[in-house]
Amino acid sequence: MPTVKVSDESFKADVIESEKPVLVDFWAEWCGPCKQIGPALEALSDEMGDKVTVAKVNIDDDPQTPTKFHVRGIPTLMIFKDGQVVSTKVGSMTKTKLTEWVEEYT
């Protein structure tokens, strides 16, 4: 399952109202670490798509949502469960660490 592009307009429906946990990646095109973690997020989405949705919010295209959730640096990754943020990580990480982190909340 590919990652899902989420906008300010679709965030409530795609993330807050989701039936399953959602890993949200706040990123930007110009961000090196964001590009570095991209393939790991795609692989995670393919492997765990039945348990978790992996969503991406481009902070330049959709600035309202990152502001609402106090995103200060990117990549910022947040896991939402039942409409609430249950965990946040800032910075790039390996696919192994990413998988271990997500498994704690799925």
Task: State the catalytic residues.
Answer: 31, 34
Strand partners, 80: 22, 85
User: What letter does residue 13 receive in the DSSP assignment?
Assistant: I
Please name the amino acid found at residue 6. Answer: V
Give 15's contacts (C-beta < 8 A, 6+ positions apart). Answer: 6, 22, 24, 53, 55, 80
Alpha helices in 1-106 (DSSP H): 11, 32-48, 64-68, 95-103
